[in-house]
Chains A and B, each alone.
Chain A
Amino acid sequence: MGALPETQDLAAQRIWALLAEVPDPEIPVLSITDLGIVRHVRADASGALVVGLTPTYSGCPATEAIRAAVRDALDAHGFGAVRIEEVLSPAWSSAWLSARGRGRLREFGIAPPEAAVTSPRQLRPAPLPACPRCGSRDSERLSEFGSTPCKAHYRCNACREPFDYFKCI
């Protein structure tokens, strides 16, 4: 970013601001910058600006919708020449969720991710998330899978409400 000429630097800043307004199609309270899937806005070898997007999960159906929404946002604001590229490595992590995003998830009724658990061993309990409604940590996991690839299904034992938990990976 530091190597960009000033006008491109300004353009990159404007693009970041634009992308901060593009919602995630499945969890619309989050923008794609909250999710941490915009990896860079930078100049390529020829000096043209490129937006790097990374998928959350290999099979996430929202990936294509997000790409199309980014294309539309760029085109509508005079950035038709800006290219979009897919970035696979480093692989997306739920730790990249912004502080603002975590707060908005909680307000929306989805528990934000705790510390990532990478053990492939079975029956190793992960830390229990706090209920987004009553705040109790007395929760239990109903399923490691939910309505979208990024969510797991939990229940609060204090207020008895089921809730979604934004998974850690």
Chain B
Amino acid sequence: MTEPAAAHTAAHVRYVLRLGDTSLILGQRLGEWIGHGPALEEDLGLANLALDFIGQARLLLTYAGELEGRGRDEDALAFLREAPEYANLTLVEQPNGDFACTIVRQWLVDSWQLQLYQALAGSADARLAAIAEKALKETRYHYRFSSGWLVRLGDGTEESRRRTQQALEELWRFTGELFAPDAIDAQMHAAGIAPELAGLRPAWSEAIDADLRAAGLARPADPSYRWQGKQGVHTEELSHLLAEMQHLPRAYPGARW
């Protein structure tokens, strides 16, 4: 492979990994709710969301492994990488906290994915476009779930409003990363594979404001510090999550059901 072609492939792999890792880590976090939901319906709802995210992660990680061409499959990528090799958004690795905290995190991610997958469905990369088209159908009902709960919690009791506003203040600092492009985003945009990331922000911001108004919640000030999860710089939370998620395949390499 020529040098520019190799660099393009490396950026392409990295771009798909970022999407796949974000889905995988959020799916793992949501799975932690199973058996702990505030009501049976919400427990099932969160488990269903977890399943969708893990399914999307499988499609994306399988594709990243094929693009990379070094023989790594979805399992090798999920279970045999360390935290600095993970390229997920910092937001999704944050702990579940209470139900309000999980809902705020989910709503921030769902509203971001809604914009991103709509744009990616028109990608020049046919495989990525197909994955996005499929995922978009699921993202729509994820967003219905999370934004619906955001409104009910924000417009609910004094206690639910207080907790939801607190979760918003806590998690808002991770949103700077959602639409901040770096060299890989720019390269993928130039190749027609990815949308212009910053260009998706106004529509996202508008939807966020509309939901916050309906919920009676206040939008926090934009953060001055930008987290860099997709560049592999994570909070300590990710290592704890990976320790649990990767324990079995690392303790029993190659084990099968």
Contacts and interface: CB of A to CB of B under 8 A. Distances in A.
Interface of A: 55, 57-61, 88-92, 118-124, 142-147, 149, 153, 167, 169
Interface of B: 27, 41-42, 44-45, 47-48, 51-56, 58-59, 114, 126-127, 129-131, 133-141, 143-145, 147-148, 150-151, 211, 214
B41 A58 contact: no
23 contacts: A55-B55, A58-B55, A58-B56, A59-B51, A59-B53, A59-B56, A60-B51, A89-B129, A89-B134, A91-B134, A119-B140, A119-B144, A120-B114, A121-B144, A143-B41, A143-B44, A143-B45, A144-B145, A145-B47, A145-B48, A167-B141, A169-B137, A169-B140
The 4 nearest A-B residue pairs measured at CB: A59-B55, A58-B55, A143-B41, A122-B148
B148 A123 contact: yes
Contacts of A120: 114, 139-141, 143-144, 147
A147 to B, nearest CB: 7
A61 B48 CA distance: 11
A146 B44 contact: yes
B141 A169 contact: yes
A90 B133 contact: yes
A147 B134 CA distance: 21
B52 A88 contact: no
A167 B144 CA distance: 14
B120 to A, nearest CB: 12
Residue picked from A60, A61, A143, A167, most chain B C-beta under 10 Å: A143
A153 B58 CA distance: 27
A142 B41 CA distance: 7
